Amino acid sequence: MRIFTKKFILAALVIGLVCGAGTGCALVSVNAEKDRAQVLATINGTDIHKDLYDNAMAYTNIYYSANNKDLPTGSDLKTLKKNLYDSIIQNQVLAAKAKKDGVTVDEASAKAEGKTSYDSVKKEAAKKYDSILSDNFTNDKLFAAYMQDNAVTSAYADKALTARQDAIKKDTKLYLDESIGKINDTDLTHGEYSYYYVGQELTNYMSTGSALATDASTLKKTNDTIFNDIGLNRQLIKYCDDNKITISDSAISTAQQTLQYTTSMFFQDDSSLTSYLSSYNMDATQYKNYQKQEAKANAAKTAIQDKLTSDIQVKDSDIASYYNKHKQNYDTSTVSACHILTSDETLANEIYSKAKDCKSKDDFQKVMDEYKSNSSVTEAKDLGAFTYSQMTETFSKAAFALDKNSVSKPVKTDYGYHVIFVYDKKTGTVSSAQDNKDSITTAVKEEKGSEAYTKLENSLKNGIKIKVDSDIKSATEEYVDQLKTELNVTTHENVI
């Protein structure tokens, strides 16, 4: 999803989207004057010539040269050239709209800013400056004029975009409430899509520390996740409606508090959240309205799970089967053990080789002391006495199988690799299935209820219908498309 704010207009032509477009034109003999005269587009009867593109391309080369970066090649180069072209047209269309509406800007100040940028860019290019301009069919006089004129154009475009964003704030139907397709035969709006996109973005920040990638492959994967999440959430709510399962207001409120907790990890207050959401043409209040709908779906899921679980009829045979499968959980026998835990399997094997002959707790303590300060060791401690059910299945199975004063080979669990030393074992009692009938009944209900929910969810997922265009446009892109009609814009992308 490309999110264009009002700052994008100038940034795209100065640093962002234009970066990486090279021409390789030194290998071709071209009449520079004729090249510059080609028409990029016509806006309200006024031709926009290719000299604008040539100078923007020159800036691109200067930027790359100054930052010691290589220009892309092949399809990447073609993509960036198109992005540059689109940026130029977007800037020109928005500026034309501002002028048509009688908007004024301080052109003298804008030109002064352009002149300052020109001086800085020329200095950065140093000895490569003239050759870069020549390779892009321009010269110093034309480039200087471009930097100033583009600053003025961007100032007008910025005014038009600001006016549009203000209009959207006053009337959400201009963008947030606009349909971009259907999921389960119900409209999907820009606002709902953007809300879920933000959720994916924050999740990615938590897992990787960075924003979502915007390449086509990643965007498709992100959108597929979003569309299916929205589809399932709608199915869950509908299932509750169809089956008269109540979704209480308190349950929705609790679910929303859970969602809001994640949001609060990134934003201290509504003001900072609104600032972040401005690029999505949304504020904190609107965001929380969409959040409440997701919370309703989460509450629906819980309500369905509870209903399925409560409907489970537990037979005596179910209790017996569960008891026999988990009999060790009702055994009060204990093992007392120490362990050394590491995520490094090689290190775990090294630790075992040193600990395997330990015959006392003191012997193993010496090994723990040796490795406890190792950065790859998560834990080296005495765990004390524990029953079978108090530890993870794999760990308990290994520990209870050991003789007193013996060491295990590395045992792998979800936490890493454990080297275990058992220094005591006590035999307890095993309570009967009848003694634990209530807790077993609850456990069986939860187990079978979870299985029933998984089956239902898979069925609901299979019923999701998605009819959404993969090319979801930002508010700016959509506005520019509207303006192209209003301003009778014709484009000639082939000239680049």
pLDDT at 117: 96
Instruction: Show the CA angle centred on residue 469, arms to residues 464 and 474, nearest 5°.
Output: 120
Q: Which of 183, 114, 116 is nearest to 154 (CA)?
A: 114
**Which one is predicted more confidently, 433 or 20?**
433
pLDDT at 357: 96
Mean pLDDT of 341-349: 97
pLDDT at 39: 96
pLDDT at 198: 96
Q: Which amino acid is at 35?
A: D
pLDDT at 27: 45
Give the dihedral sign, CA 141/144/148/150. positive
Q: Which of 3-7, 251-255, 289-293, 480-484 has the lowest mean pLDDT?
A: 3-7
pLDDT over 70 at 12, yes or no: no
**Which one is predicted more confidently, 308 or 13?**
308
pLDDT over 50 at 243, yes or no: yes
Question: Percent of the chain having pLDDT more than 70?
Answer: 94
Give percent helix, percent strand, percent coil of the chain, each to the nearest 5: 65, 10, 25
pLDDT over 90 at 80, yes or no: no
What are 374's two structure tokens? 């190792």
DSSP string, 43-77: ETTEEEETHHHHHHHHHHHHHHHHTT-PPP-HHHH
DSSP string, 282-336: --HHHHHHHHHHHHHHHHHHHHHHHHHHHHPPPPHHHHHHHHHHTGGGGB--EEE
Mean pLDDT of 413-435: 97
Mean pLDDT of 351-373: 96
Architecture of domain 332-426: Roll (3.10)
Give the span between the Cα atoms of 68 and 215, in whole angstroms: 23
pLDDT over 60 at 3, yes or no: no
Instruction: Compute CA distances 190 → 136, 194, 196, 281, 474, whole Å.
Output: 39, 6, 10, 10, 9
- Identify the burial level of 484 via C-beta atoms within 10 angstroms of its C-beta, where 0-12 means exposed, 13-18 middle and 19 or more buried: middle
pLDDT, tens only, 259-312: 999 999 999 999 999 999 998 999 999 999 999 999 999 999 999 999 999 999
Mean pLDDT of 137-166: 96
Three-state SS across 340-351? EEECCHHHHHHH
Instruction: Compute CA distances 241 → 234, 366, 450, whole Å.
Output: 11, 63, 21
pLDDT at 397: 95
pLDDT at 19: 37
pLDDT, tens only, 379-395: 999 999 999 999 999 99
Give the span between the Cα atoms of 116 and 351, in whole angstroms: 65
Name the pLDDT band for 215 (thresholds 50, 70, 90).
confident
Question: What 3-state DSSP class applies to 383?
Answer: strand
Report yes or no: 288 and 274 within 8 Å, Cβ to Cβ: no
pLDDT at 35: 86
Mean pLDDT of 462-477: 90
Q: CB-based contacts of 269: which residues, under 8 Å, 6+ apart?
A: none
Q: What is the residue extent of each domain of the chain?
A: 8-172+477-495, 186-311, 332-426
Residue with tokens 């960036």: 80
Q: What are the residues facing 412 on neighbouring strands? A: 417
What are 124's two structure tokens? 């950065």
Q: CB-based contacts of 472: which residues, under 8 Å, 6+ apart?
A: 1, 180, 190, 193, 223
pLDDT over 70 at 448, yes or no: yes
Residue with tokens 């003694």: 435
pLDDT over 50 at 65, yes or no: yes
The H or E element that residue 382 is part of is strand 377-386
pLDDT over 60 at 189, yes or no: yes
Give the span between the Cα atoms of 345 and 226, in whole angstroms: 38
What are 299's two structure tokens? 């509450």
What are 410's two structure tokens? 């590395």
pLDDT at 29: 62
pLDDT over 80 at 26, yes or no: no
Give the chain's radius of gyration (CA, Å). 33
Question: Percent of the chain having pLDDT more than 90?
Answer: 83
Mean pLDDT of 320-326: 96
Report yes or no: 23 and 34 within 8 Å, Cβ to Cβ: no
Q: CB-based contacts of 88: which residues, under 8 Å, 6+ apart?
A: 13, 40, 48, 52, 53, 56
Report yes or no: 404 and 417 within 8 Å, Cβ to Cβ: no
Q: CB-based contacts of 22: which residues, under 8 Å, 6+ apart?
A: 57, 60, 61, 64, 71, 72, 77
What mean pLDDT is reported for the chain? Answer: 92
pLDDT over 50 at 6, yes or no: no
C-alpha neighbours within 13 Å on the C-beta side of residue 150:
28
